[in-house]
Amino acid sequence: MDSTIKNPRHVAVIMDGNGRWATKRGLPRVQGHRAGVLALREIVKHSRKIGLEYLTLYAFSTENWKRPPQEIKNLMNLLVEYLKSEINDLKANNVSIRILGDISPLHAAVITQLNKAVEETAANNGLILCVAINYGGRDEIIRAVKGIVRDINAGKACIEDIDHSFFEGYLDTKGIPHPDLVIRPSGEFRISNFLLWQIAYSELWFSNCYWPDFTARMFEKALEDYAKRDRRYGGVNSVD
């Protein structure tokens, strides 16, 4: 990426269209998810290359439990497979893993692998790779409210403490800047319950290609388009 381009600190990606990619080719849906992992590897590698600080990937939503059990099992197996195969490379390239979402309902083997990935990369201070799994924006907000109520009832906080900064301390993304840019491939034009609090002023970028076809060059195109946008956060600039 050209160093003169206005760079985002944090890019969030809704990795969508794996199943449709496979169906279009007459393949089982799991093959689409496997192809999606290859795209994931390319984008993580490119994010490191360009010096991105935060990359958040929507891997499995709270609504994805509605899918067939075998597909869910395949997705979880692929997640574990990815973490096992990539962990040494992530450590070597100074990438740290952070998990967003409530992972407690997941299979014990998946939880173990997620926690291991977080622990083994905790000392890294390069790209922070946030993986949103069993994540939903509404669910995150409800969990945050419950945490605040518990602390108020325990005398650890009071209602007067609550402001934007205080509330964000109870979110999964505590300490992480809001996404500058949200990318969604697959031809859908919706947010799908993703980072609802955090993306209030994020720039949105959509593409018709399915996630397995999303390349580093497309990622660059999204960043180039982002650089041309005027982020006013509800205000005006000097030429308006």
Q: Which residues are part of the catalytic machinery?
A: 16, 64
Please tell me the distance from the alpha carbon of residue 85 to that of residue 105, in angstroms, as a whole number: 24
Number of other CB atoms surrounding residue 209 within 10 Å:
15
Q: CA-CA distances (angstroms) from residue 221 to 124, 177, 183? A: 28, 22, 11
Describe the strand order of the beta sheet including 203-206 as a list of residue ranges: 96-100, 128-135, 54-61, 10-14, 181-184, 203-206
Whether 21 contacts 95, CB under 8 Å: no
Whether 96 contacts 124, CB under 8 Å: yes
Burial class (CB in 10 A: 0-12, 13-18, 19+), 114: buried
Please tell me the distance from the alpha carbon of residue 161 to that of residue 30, in angstroms, as a whole number: 47
